Amino acid sequence: MQFARKVWHLLVAIKDGLVLLLLLLFFAGLYGVLTARPSSASLKDGALLLKLDGSVVEEPSDQDPLKLLVGVEAPLKQYRVRDLVRALQLAASDDHIKVVVLDLSKFTGGGLVHMEEIGAAMDQVRAAKKPVLTYATAYIDDGVMLAAHASEVWAHPMGGAFVMGPGGTMPYYGKLLKDYGIKIHVFKVGTFKDFVEPYERNDASAPSKEARTALYAAMWEDWKANVARARPKAQIERITKDPVAWFTAAKGDGARAALDAGLIDKVGDNVAFGERVKALAGAGENKDKPGSYAYSKPDALLAAHPLDDGGKAIAVVTVAGEIVDGKAGPGTAGGDRIAKLIDQANADDAKALVLRVDSPGGSVLASEQIRGALNRFKAKGRPVVVSMANLAASGGYWVSTPAQRIFAEPGTVTGSIGIFAVMPSFEDTLARYGVNSDGVRTTPLSGQPDLIGGLSPEVEKLLQANIEQGYARFIGLVGKSRGKSPEEVDAMAQGRVWDGGTARQKGLVDEFGGLPEALKYAASAAKLEKWHAKYYGTEPKGFGGLLEKLFGSDDDDADSGSQGRDLAGLMALRQQDSLARAAAGLLRLGSVQGAQAYCLDCTVAAPPPSPDSHGNWLVRLAVGLGLR
């Protein structure tokens, strides 16, 4: 009996060991598959497929692992603009690529500057005598701009193309907060620093409307000029001045209306479009499947042409998204994280540094932390250059002040030189329910700030004085950087935002150009003949990235059969985005923040949030307001 037990224990141990070994082999194989880099061997003769199921950004964010695990479908993605542009440029010269295809069926947009960069790269492909085709159910502004640079534009019979233009309304909570007895204590400097207006007013002030009108007008003209150059037959004026007449003339048929206005060239479903691409690129592996064509993904093309790493390194550090305290990112510019990246480039002895900024600003403290790291880099006598993308305003301009040269585009939103702080108190609200505060103070600052009893006059004066000192520091930094007196900077600052063209006229920007031009200037300033760009900290990491690869791969197929949104779907998406932004505005009141250098107008330049990020906005709003 004892012998049998020993044999049984041995068999169980062998079984457990084999199970453990198999699990280890499974997870090792899974990790290898998920972390494997694309191989140049996967590059095929045929089309280059850019399937943009999401938004174009400067720096992709980490995916939320919980959303990936519990989501009904794979979340929309973020695509780094630098990779898309380089893939298109390579497609122009790579003999494997016969045609370029942009599937915009689930495209949610991007910033104006990014759209212009991708459009210019599409033009390079067409200049190489290679066709560029786009497909979507329905195109909207950003998609219309990209399609304008294509040689052939397709839309689904139930879709079309629509131009909304920049601008719109936003919620103002002044009366709501007053009705509930919530006092909003605002401390700011700048006539045009309108970020706080939704909390203290019921409408936009005259200075706010003046600045926003000028900004939207400049960006709208830039958009129209770009589309007109790329697609002269597009009747933009006709469809924007009287969209109802244009649409009813086609009897409500969006595809026909878009065709009549020159926005699209062909009408057909994704299978018909696939057959058209097949005629240009060749059949896919599944030759019997309708609409299947041979294609390669951008990763394979990029892998076949690795970046040059010869010569000295020029560091590129990206400040993308809101600037916040701490280590947040990528996709959000945590001050600790960005400063550490700059210090790492400093320790690596990079010969120059280009700061790529695509941020509406945020924390003054975090912005100052990044600026300090740039000054440590400069202390060794090496050049720092700033390249502004869609927006570099408020804190985004604060971090730009150490640069010896600033590059931007006409469509860049910049300026907004001003700071503020907002703090609510609830003494009037609670008094309605018989709640009051009382106690003993040893100084005027004891127990302050008191959100229940209200802020004392001394605290309000101290906070305002501190904000004024911060503003004086801000314009002093700008003046030193741009060779202007504080008075000159103050006259064009006051929290006002500017388009890139006006900012250049005012001396806030030195030169028009993108990241390539900034890198060339940095190399020249560092006296480098042979150099390469070394990018710091731009890759999303963590479990979310692995899950995205595991669960989100099927939707990358060219012939997956998925359709995008029609006009009603696009309108619903925009409405959902507006609701999410309104909720975020209220939630900001309850968050822990210090002095802020943030830009209200910058939402026009930023890509919209992915729709999957909106699902829980109502729950978060309820939690933020104490309703749950």
Given the residues 51, 106, 130, 193, select the one marked as catalytic. 193
Structural tokens at position 521: 């200037």
The SS3 call for residue 89 is helix
Looking at the fold, whether 419 and 270 belong to one and the same domain comes out as no
Whether residue 112 is contained in a domain is answered as yes
Clarify whether 39 is annotated catalytic.
Answer: no
Q: Where are the alpha helices (DSSP H) in 379-426?
A: 395-398
Is the residue at 94 inside a domain? Answer: yes
Q: Please state the pTM of the whole predicted model.
A: 0.85
Q: Which residues contact 302 (CB under 8 A, 6 or more apart)?
A: 38, 83, 86, 87, 90
Residues 397 and 456 in one domain: yes
The DSSP annotation for 251-300 comes to: TT-HHHHHHHTTS-SEE--HHHHHHHHHHHH-B-S-TTSTT-B-EE-HHH
pLDDT at residue number 188: 87
State the chain's mean pLDDT as an integer. 85
**How far, in whole angstroms, is CA 586 from its chain's centroid?**
21
Whether 394 maps to a domain, the answer reads yes
Provide the pairing of β-strand 97-103 with 46-51: parallel
218 belongs to a structural domain: no
pLDDT digits (tens, 9 = 90+) for 548-589: 555 444 444 565 445 666 666 666 566 566 656 656 665 666
Q: What is the pLDDT of residues 414-450, one digit of tens each?
A: 999 998 888 888 888 888 888 888 888 888 888 888 8
Taking only Cα atoms into account, the Rg of the chain, rounded to an integer number of angstroms, comes to 27
Domain hosting residue 484, numbered range: 312-436+444-536
Task: Kindly state the DSSP code that residue 55 receives in the 8-state scheme.
Answer: E
Do residues 416 and 489 both lie within one domain? Answer: yes
Residue 193 a catalytic site member: yes
Residue 426 and residue 361 share a domain: yes
Closest CA to 108 of 133, 72, 79: 79
- Is 284 a residue whose pLDDT tops 80? yes
Which residues of 109-241 form beta strands (DSSP E)? Answer: 132-139, 152-161, 183-188
In a domain, 576, yes or no: no
Nearest to 292 by CA among 284, 303, 300: 284
Structure tokens at 20: 């453990």
Domain contains 582 = no
The reply to whether 30 falls in a domain is no
Give the tens place of pLDDT for each residue, 131-182.
999 999 999 999 999 999 999 999 999 999 999 999 888 889 899 989 989 8
- What is the domain-level CATH number for residue 347? 3.90.226.10
Same domain for 475 and 343: yes
> Which residue type is seen at 249?
A
Contact 391, 602 (CB under 8 A): yes
Q: Which tokens go with 626?
A: 């104490």
Measured CA to CA, the distance from residue 556 to residue 56 in angstroms comes to 16
Residue 476 counted as domain residue: yes
How many domains are there within the chain?
Answer: 2
Q: Which of 394, 400, 425, 481 is catalytic?
A: 394
Is residue 68 located within the same domain as residue 92? yes
Quickly tell me which residue has 């696939």 as its tokens. 274
Angle at 121 between CA 154 and CA 224, to 5 degrees: 65
Q: Tell me how long the chain is.
A: 628
